[in-house]
Amino acid sequence: MHSNSDKGDGSVRYLLSGEEAGTIFVIDEVTGDIHATKSLDREKKGQYVLHAQAIDRYTNRSLEPESEFIIKVQDVNDNAPMFPDGPFAAAVPEMADVGTSVFQVTATDADDPTYGNSAKIVYSILQGQPYFSVDPKT
């Protein structure tokens, strides 16, 4: 944040309030630069709302209206897909027709599906070919 009233003489002081202000987010009182003090994790909290204010250091009067900042945390691929309630067992009748559906499981991924491919799930089997196959998308 930077105020147009800031002439660089130290007469402007910047203040920060809101979610995690002073703990995760800090503001340099002289420059108005806002920094994160630790790594952010989108799975714990996806966004933060902060308010910054420029005040006259000598009169404590606000120099401009308070500014609101919405910090959106972009996701990284830090979660592996998971199968709930595994391991699984299934049975198939002897002489079942080729293409008979044997079993269906669904994996989940805690990463953000709207950002990049980090939550994209591709299914495959490690053993059982050529007798069994899997649809890589479903």
Same-domain pairing of 64 and 52: yes
At residue 21, what are phi and psi to the nearest 5 degrees? -65, 130
Confidence at residue 15, expressed as pLDDT on a 0 to 100 scale: 96
Residue 17 counted as domain residue: yes
State residue 86's pLDDT score: 77
Dihedral, 112, 115, 119, 123 alpha carbons, nearest 10: 150
Confirm if 53 and 15 have CB atoms less than 8 A apart: yes
Which residues of the chain fall below pLDDT 70? Answer: none
Q: What does each C-alpha distance from 35 to 1, 40, 46, 79, 94 come to in angstroms?
A: 11, 12, 17, 26, 64
Residues 88 and 67 in one domain: no
- The domain of 113 spans 75-137
Is the pTM higher than 0.85? The answer reads no
Q: What's the pLDDT at 94?
A: 92
Q: What is the model's pLDDT at position 5?
A: 81
Examine the fold and report which residue of 32, 54, 72 is the final residue of a domain before the chain moves on.
72
Tokens 């990463």 map to which residue? Answer: 111
Last residue of a domain, one of 50, 72, 94: 72
Give the per-residue pLDDT at 37: 97
| Residue ending a domain, choose from 72, 90, 110 | 72
